[in-house]
Amino acid sequence: MDYPKSPREHELEQMSRTYFRSKLPTGWRPAEETVDYGSDERVHIRQQGEMRSLELLVQLKGSDEPNGTEYETIEINVRTFNYLENKLQVVLVVKYVASENEAYWIKLRDVPLPNQNNETMTIRIPSENKLSTIDWQAIERYVEDVQLKKLAKR
């Protein structure tokens, strides 16, 4: 008998999602995106016990082994980058490395713009940006600042 295969990519996707969610502050509410055009998670940020409409979008990737010493890299489609860059919410790109049980992150705004003639691009995430040591309060302040600036333009 033959049965459906469960590719390693599916396991890595689930592991990366589980790890990411385990590192979120208490009260922050992740929600898996049902249609994936580039963001895998939408995180609702709780402030002082209230949900004040702050959101963070997250693009998750996973690998079995690290691929760098100074940087972890992921490859995404330029179209996906363009889509994420034009979102109103702040976007984090997170790469989970299973052999290290660690993830690395970068704000999308810190990623250089891709060559629009290419189909794909490589994102370099500094190895010191470990999700296990991320300053979530700084991320919250950044999200709030970005939202306030965008709302001020109304």
Evaluate whether 85 touches 121 at the Cβ level (below 8 Å).
Answer: no
CATH number attached to the domain at 8-152: 3.40.1350.10
pLDDT at 154 (0 to 100): 62
pLDDT at 68 (0 to 100): 75
pLDDT at 122 (0 to 100): 97
pLDDT at 128 (0 to 100): 96
- The arithmetic mean of pLDDT across residues 119-140, rounded, is 97
Nearest in space to 139 (alpha carbons), one of 19, 37, 57, 36: 57
Q: Tell me the whole-structure pTM to 2 decimals.
A: 0.91
Average of per-residue pLDDT values in the chain: 92
